[in-house]
A and B are shown apart, each in its own frame.
Chain A
Amino acid sequence: MPAVSKGDGMRGLAVFISDIRNCKSKEAEIKRINKELANIRSKFKGDKALDGYSKKKYVCKLLFIFLLGHDIDFGHMEAVNLLSSNRYTEKQIGYLFISVLVNSNSELIRLINNGIKNDLASRNPTFMNLALHCIANVGSREMAEAFTADIPKILVAGDTMDSVKQSAALCLLRLNRTSPDLVPMGEWTSRVVHLLNDQHLGVVTAATSLITTLAQKNPEEFKTSVSLAVSRLSRIVTSASTDLQDYTYYFVPAPWLSVKLLRLLQCYPPPEEGAVRGRLTECLETILNKAQEPPKSKKVQHSNAKNAVLFEAISLIIHHDSEPNLLVRACNQLGQFLQHRETNLRYLALESMCTLASSEFSHEAVKTHIETVINALKTERDVSVRQRAVDLLYAMCDRSNAQQIVAEMLNYLETADYSIREEIYAVDYTWYVDTILNLIRIAGDYVSEEVWYRVIQIVINRDDVQGYSAKTVFEALQAPACHENLVKVGGYILGEFGNLIAGDPRSSPLIQFNLLHSKFHLCSVPTRALLLSTYIKFVNLFPEIKATIQDVLRSDSQLRNADVELQQRAVEYLRLSCIASTDILSTPSTSTDLLGLGLAPVLNSVAPASAGGSLLVDVFSDNSPAVASLAHTAEENFSSPRIGSADVVSDDPAAAVHDADELVNKFVCKNNGVLFENQLMQIGLKSEFRQNLGEYNSRTKQVDPAVDGGAQVQQILNIECVSDFMEAPILNIQFRYGGALQNMSVKLPVTLNKFFQPTEMTSQDFFQRWKQLSIEQQHSLTVSCKSFCFIIDSPQQEVQKIFKAKHPMDTEVTKAKIIGFGVALLDMVDPNPSNFTGAGVIHTKNIQVGCLLRLEPNTQAQVRGVFIFQFYSRVLEICVCVCHIYIYIY
């Protein structure tokens, strides 16, 4: 019987499926399937060849069984045979089976590929389409390898049918996504671009998707597509909808194509050609205009399609960021959407506005909607929309409205369900500390570690708020239930600055300690470890409660704690507090500086100099500045000095750091000289710096003639700058002189600027970067806003300081100083000849930071003159440090 007469019905298949559907239980279904599988197996095994119809039917059944979740391990061959059939339905089922069930069986893949090749070569468009669809559906690497060469040919061949072209473009797109390295770029690329001019809109839509993906990979090759896309877009947008074949969707002309074209344009900067640019602007304006028109249909599809195009247009406008007029219009349009009934629209509007807010042209316009946004934050039901609203509030926040916004947000926080992580924009420190502590109190769980690191970082570095914050924290801790983060902050701040409030009888040392210790048992291990460190700091700060603390440390719950870290700390701190005098404690305790001395303790060699009989010079460096990492690990950056050996007891290094700041400051611009001198000894210094490594050659000379005049000991110290730092490392020296132990500590003249590498720059370069940095600063505001808190005040990337010169101004001297400072002096760069400019790169182990410097002497203002010192770099801390150092030398 000819297969045609049976039609496409495949009664057997329908019966089988209905049998399965009627099965009462899973077991019954499995039984039915087993029976069918056995039947198919016997049919496939049978000696007489099956006709196309039966083959198709059985392959279909197998496919159905497979989709029900059963393993199919045969029938592939029959499916491949179907590919060579001339009947469309049979071929289709064959391809379907292969797309769903293909596995990397080598022989079959070869046969399948052969079948596909034949179909691609046939001039029958439906067969070609089937083959292309199969390639795209499988999309495997093997497929890509086999066909990437052929498909572009089909795509650009003149005589290919439109529908085939469409499939070919999409197929190529899919292969490009799965194995981008295999898709060849060649002469066909230019011809693909011209598909944008194709008569058939389907082809254009498919081609646009392909070009967009390819253009993201190598924009240069597809640059010509911009003008074509613009002209196509303008034809769609401005033309009457009648000539768009079937591509008008609910009165919106070709919305998908428009969106894709707009996306394509987002791969490129605004077109430079005036005509193209004008045309594009006109298109965008038309789209914005159309948004204002009353809807042509009440159907939701109409407005959806219209808005899709509109939003894509707006993101293109934002991307170009060049037409203030359009930006403002877009902003206003979004403002209307903010109050729209549709939740999705509100969400999208807030999201787009977020990006709009970062553009300088539309920032002000966005700010006009602040009330609406705050309102959205308060009344919106959907949490994701509220999150968007919060994002937008950050984005639009600046000096003028920070107070208002933060107040609103805190307000909101009290009532909100805490799912939104709080981020803060602070103006002054006291207020900032208050806010954050408040925040931790209210929503402790949602405050990330960084937030409280930041608090401590700020408190440590601002003398003026230390006392205040200690007090605040102390008060906050008195609440019966505190969040663990608060305990952490409390432990840290009280440990460092508890002495500042110890005068008040209400917060005497013992009360402070008891308060902290009352929280101890409720905390997790890291917090307990931190609290233990706090206790040892207390031992240092308040010797009067030493006994109490030792008792606590000695208790079994500490000394025999199951947690190894806690146990070790307890043991070490206990020993430390028992053995060491107050002096030794102060050294490690105070060196817990947060703003990171980026110096690893590299010096640890002991060089006993047998210069004269009784002299022993010992460069003792165990207690030199402990490793201080940046604020990120600030939780505990105090590497406990291992005082296991008893000899330390006998020769305590003196803690009295020689306050030889003036001496040290001499070295800011110099590398050699005498570092220290008294009647006993003289320390000379010779240093070399290469990028982030430094080498010291210090000469210690005995100057007392009575013993052994003039003996020299040389000690080489290698220093590596890990990250930025402010405090100089300290060199402790101890020796025996005349039977008495002598100790001294000298600051090593290592400052951040030592790690400068001078950079030469032309005037043009210099000012371009200068400007760029000042723009970036604006930009980074919004970026860092998102991540967490930010401070408006001085520490931005730019540091500007006005200071009085201590010495009369002399051009040559200033020049020498700038060179000595480490940066390259850029002559003739600044238009004003009296200004000085410099550029350099600071090398640290972690980062390299470029810095620009400008010094503007103002001789009129004072007798000695005033310098305006401007300094730019990408990293805030570095600016602060460098600025600090620089002011020293004047």
Chain B
Amino acid sequence: MIGGLFIYNHKGEVLISRVYRDDIGRNAVDAFRVNVIHARQQVRSPVTNIARTSFFHVKRSNIWLAAVTKQNVNAAMVFEFLYKMCDVMTAYFGKISEENIKNNFVLIYELLDEILDFGYPQNSETGALKTFITQQGIKSQTKEEQSQITSQVTGQIGWRREGIKYRRNELFLDVLESVNLLMSPQGQVLSAHVSGRVVMKSYLSGMPECKFGMNDKIVIDKQGKGTADETSKSGKQSIAIDDCTFHQCVRLSKFDSERSISFIPPDGEYELMRYRTTKDIILPFRVIPLVREVGRTKLEVKVVIKSNFKPSLLAQKIEVRIPTPLNTSGVQVICMKGKAKYKASENAIVWKIKRMAGMKESQISAEIELLPTNDKKKWARPPISMNFEVPFAPSGLKVRYLKVFEPKLNYSDHDVIKWVRYIGRSGIYETRC
């Protein structure tokens, strides 16, 4: 029951305003601008309540998307919708920027009319939308086409239309994970979790039935009942998934009863599932900080990073960020590998390494000169954070199979070309110093 949807630029000017219900007046537009975008204190909560009106916002680069309601809505639903909205817009015109929004405002209004009806979210599947909302202007459609669209949109499988044909049946599977960590200076893990996504790109003909299998602990254990030796073999390999969500195409009843993931995939790119794990996480890097204060005007910092994965793999885009005190007046850095620089604008030393193999270590040492201040406040010592990308899944997730069945057309599972890729990225990966 979203009452209205507004899009603002970074200055708070309204780019798009679509009101779905009468209880949202024009002043709601200003209320959000004044109380959130132009607020003196930065508003960090994504939900703001102003005069009994709730504003849910997400930010994409410099653009604010805000959904407004006066009712008690499911906040998760609203955010899900906003994210979906972003996906749809990206699918239509690329990056969400002020320029793009201004250039496509007719399209955006058209989309908003379609995916929200009286504030209730409707089919927001890009594939389906693209069949009848196009950027090529008004295309005169034949009766058959129209009826086809209608039956498809209102039918059981709204996310895939019939009659898709590819010469090469291809399928891409990406396991994208971000690993989050907070570690004490002594190397004790204070909190760690992995949130992952399985993103699929499918170019398959007809209406194929797919089955996806991974090393989910429950499934493995169940199978293990029959063959005890298999359990012992793959016991270590299985992972415990804390929670997961699926794309609407997945048959949930089957998942509930058999824990098997079977679905008819949408055409193109989509996110098959999302999951989170907290146990047995492989931490790709270990950061060992050493900070020593030499008098009031000097600080010595030494940071060692160790890579903790197979030596054959290569981590990429490694960036270590070492915060400096607010009264830093000069920094000298020495590092063995990569490049390190003091970035005054961010109050941090940024150390970048392009590539690093597993089971290696590297270190940086820095001398920070301080300006004596009359401030009694002590430096709070923020944690050292890290960014990286590794070619495996830190959660330990493995794709066991992905089977495709298409009984009507003449291709079998073997004819489909399948690609699987694992990418592990850093989320908030911090070590206290």
Q: Show the binding face of A for B, using Cβ within 8 Å.
A: 24-26, 31-32, 34-35, 37-39, 41-42, 44-45, 71, 73-74, 76, 103, 105, 108
Contact = CB atoms under 8 A, between A and B. Distances in A.
Contacts of B374: 73-74, 76, 103, 105, 108
A715 B126 CA distance: 101
A25 B373 contact: no
B371 A45 contact: yes
Contacts of A74: 327, 371-374
Nearest to B330: A42
Contact of B62 (A25, A31, A73): A25
B345 A31 contact: yes
Contacts of A103: 374
Given A24-B10, A25-B10, A105-B374, A38 B369 contact: no
A34 B346 contact: yes
Contacts of A73: 326-327, 373-375
B344 interface: yes
Closest 8 CB pairs of A and B: A38-B344, A45-B329, A73-B375, A31-B345, A35-B345, A41-B329, A73-B373, A35-B344
Interface of B: 10, 42, 62, 326-330, 344-347, 369, 371-375
B369 A34 contact: no
5 contacts: A35-B345, A38-B328, A38-B344, A41-B327, A103-B374
Q: Is the interface of A mostly helix, strand, loop or mixed?
A: helix
Given A25-B62, A74-B373, A44 B10 contact: no
Contact of B346 (A24, A31, A44, A71): A31
Contacts, number: 49
B76 to A, nearest CB: 28
A25 B10 CA distance: 7
A42 B42 CA distance: 30
A298 to B, nearest CB: 40
Contacts of B42: 26
Contacts of A71: 375
B347 A34 contact: yes
Central interface residue in A26, A37, A108, by most chain B CB within 10 Å: A37
Contacts of A45: 329-330, 369, 371
B412 to A, nearest CB: 54
A108 B374 CA distance: 10
B42 to A, nearest CB: 7
Contacts of B327: 41, 73-74
B36 to A, nearest CB: 13
Nearest to B376: A73
A223 B135 CA distance: 89
Nearest to B377: A73
Contacts of B328: 38, 41
Nearest to B342: A38
Given A73-B373, A74-B371, A34 B345 contact: yes
A436 B373 CA distance: 68
Q: Is the interface of B mostly helix, strand, loop or mixed?
A: loop
A105 B372 CA distance: 14
Contacts of B62: 24-25
Given A42-B330, A103-B374, 12 more contacts: A25-B10, A25-B62, A31-B345, A34-B345, A35-B344, A39-B344, A41-B328, A41-B329, A45-B329, A45-B369, A73-B327, A74-B371
B371 A41 contact: yes
Contacts of A26: 42
A37 B330 CA distance: 12
A76 B62 CA distance: 37
A74 to B, nearest CB: 5
Contacts of A25: 10, 62
A889 B202 CA distance: 115
A76 B371 CA distance: 12
Contacts of A37: 326, 344
Nearest to A34: B345
A523 B398 CA distance: 71
Contact of B329 (A31, A44, A108): A44
Nearest to B375: A73
A247 B347 CA distance: 55
A35 B344 CA distance: 5
A31 to B, nearest CB: 4
A15 to B, nearest CB: 16
Nearest to A74: B373
Central interface residue in A32, A35, A38, A45, by most chain B CB within 10 Å: A38
A393 to B, nearest CB: 39
A210 B184 CA distance: 64
A858 B369 CA distance: 104
Nearest to A73: B375
Central interface residue in A34, A39, A108, by most chain B CB within 10 Å: A34
A100 to B, nearest CB: 16
Nearest to B9: A24
B218 to A, nearest CB: 44
Central interface residue in A31, A41, A76, A103, by most chain B CB within 10 Å: A41
A465 B131 CA distance: 88
A103 B10 CA distance: 37
Contact of A42 (B326, B329, B345): B329
Contacts of B375: 71, 73
Contacts of B373: 73-74
A248 B88 CA distance: 71
Contacts of B344: 34-35, 37-39
B345 A32 contact: yes
Nearest to B369: A45
A386 B219 CA distance: 82
Contacts of B346: 31, 34
Nearest to A27: B42
A71 to B, nearest CB: 8
A78 to B, nearest CB: 11
Nearest to B374: A105
Contacts of B10: 24-25
Nearest to B348: A34
A108 B369 CA distance: 23
A475 to B, nearest CB: 42
Given A24-B62, A25-B62, A73-B327, A44 B345 contact: no
Given A24-B10, A25-B62, A73-B327, A44 B347 contact: no
A42 B369 CA distance: 9
Contacts of B371: 41, 44-45, 74
Nearest to A107: B374
Contacts of A41: 327-329, 371
B15 to A, nearest CB: 16
Nearest to A38: B344
A592 to B, nearest CB: 47
Nearest to B42: A26
A71 B327 CA distance: 11
A44 B347 CA distance: 17
A71 B345 CA distance: 15
A42 B332 CA distance: 13
A24 B10 CA distance: 8
A525 to B, nearest CB: 28
A105 B328 CA distance: 22
Contacts of A39: 344
A90 B114 CA distance: 65
Central interface residue in A32, A35, A103, by most chain B CB within 10 Å: A35
A105 B326 CA distance: 20
Contacts of A31: 345-346
A62 to B, nearest CB: 12
B273 to A, nearest CB: 34
A4 B373 CA distance: 31
Contacts of A105: 374
Contacts of B326: 37, 73
Contacts of B330: 42, 45
Contacts of A42: 329-330
A74 B374 CA distance: 7
Contacts of B329: 38, 41-42, 44-45
A708 B347 CA distance: 104
